[in-house]
């Protein structure tokens, strides 16, 4: 058993260097041990200066692609590029070996792994009178989400997969399909996170805690989510590798 917050600095940096670079600075402050922040802070500042900030939205644009490794398609008929604008109702499919990082109004980040299909079902950024509301569908593949501005009981941030849905609150999570016959979900920081399907619900409350859902050939659930348990360093490494671009870019 392990807890992310208890990882030695060298061990954690070896496991998830690229994944950490995908996180928003304010979210990483909640996740990484204080000993990690000094060497990471300058890298995160550099990423921001290189263009991770979302340009001012035009009309109904709610996100943009801020990083792309490999190829991806938008709505099955357009090629995704760095800077591509996204709207509610859009879908993105990444090619094998591809990675795509999306930045939403409000600061949330969503990183997609290879051969991953995402549908943006709903996204309403927080306003002075309303809390943020978001609903994404990841139909296949894997993702890393950094949910910003999701802290009150009135806000909602859902990531739905065929096997289970994650209900997120101010949290860093990974989820998806990377081991045959199962879907996996893990909390990296923040929380809590509810993972549920029609057969049951579990609650992830500590960094490093995850759950597994056994699935059929179509990725549909065969059972409720397993009781939460702390992931091994090897499993954390395998999961974060699926959303990290070669060379950590």
CATH assignment at residue 148: 2.60.120.1440
pLDDT of residue 190: 86
The total number of residues written for the chain in this structure: 249
Which residues form the domain of 225? 4-248
pTM of the model: 0.77
Cα separation of 26 and 116, whole Å? 26
pLDDT of residue 27: 41
| Beta-carbon count within 10 A of 73 CB | 16
pLDDT string in tens for the chain (249-residue length)? 444 444 443 443 344 444 444 444 444 444 443 333 333 333 334 433 334 444 444 579 999 999 999 999 999 899 999 999 999 999 999 999 999 999 999 889 999 999 999 999 999 887 766 777 899 999 999 999 998 866 655 568 899 999 999 998 768 999 999 999 999 999 999 878 999 999 999 999 999 999 999 999 999 999 999 999 999 999 999 999 999 875 444
pLDDT of residue 97: 92
Cα separation of 52 and 48, whole Å? 5
Count of domains in the chain?
1
């Amino acid at each position: 058993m392990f807890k992310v917050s208890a990882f030695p600095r060298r061990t954690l940096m070896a496991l998830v260097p690229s994944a950490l670079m995908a996180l928003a600075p304010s979210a990483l402050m909640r996740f990484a041990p204080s000993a990690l922040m000094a060497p990471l802070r300058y890298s995160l500042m550099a990423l921001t200066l290189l263009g991770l900030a979302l340009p001012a939205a035009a009309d109904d644009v709610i996100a943009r692609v801020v990083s792309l490794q490999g190829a991806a398609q938008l709505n099955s008929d357009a090629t995704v590029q760095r800077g591509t604008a996204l709207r509610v109702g859009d879908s993105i499919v990444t090619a094998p070996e591809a990675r795509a990082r999306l930045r939403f109004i409000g600061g949330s980040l969503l990183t997609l792994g290879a051969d991953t299909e995402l549908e943006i079902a709903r996204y309403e950024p927080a306003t002075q009178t309303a809390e943020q509301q978001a609903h994404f569908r990841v139909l296949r593949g894997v993702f890393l989400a950094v949910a910003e501005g999701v802290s009150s009981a009135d806000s909602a941030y859902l990531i739905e997969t065929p096997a289970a849905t994650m209900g997120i609150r101010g949290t860093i999570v990974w989820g998806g399909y990377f081991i045959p016959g199962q879907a996996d979900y893990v909390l990296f920081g923040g929380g809590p996170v509810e993972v549920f399907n029609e057969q049951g619900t579990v609650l992830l409350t500590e960094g490093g805690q995850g759950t597994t859902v056994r699935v059929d050939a179509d990725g549909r659930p065969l059972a409720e989510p397993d009781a939460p348990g702390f992931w091994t360093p090897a499993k954390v490494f395998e999961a974060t590798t699926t959303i990290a671009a070669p060379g950590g870019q």
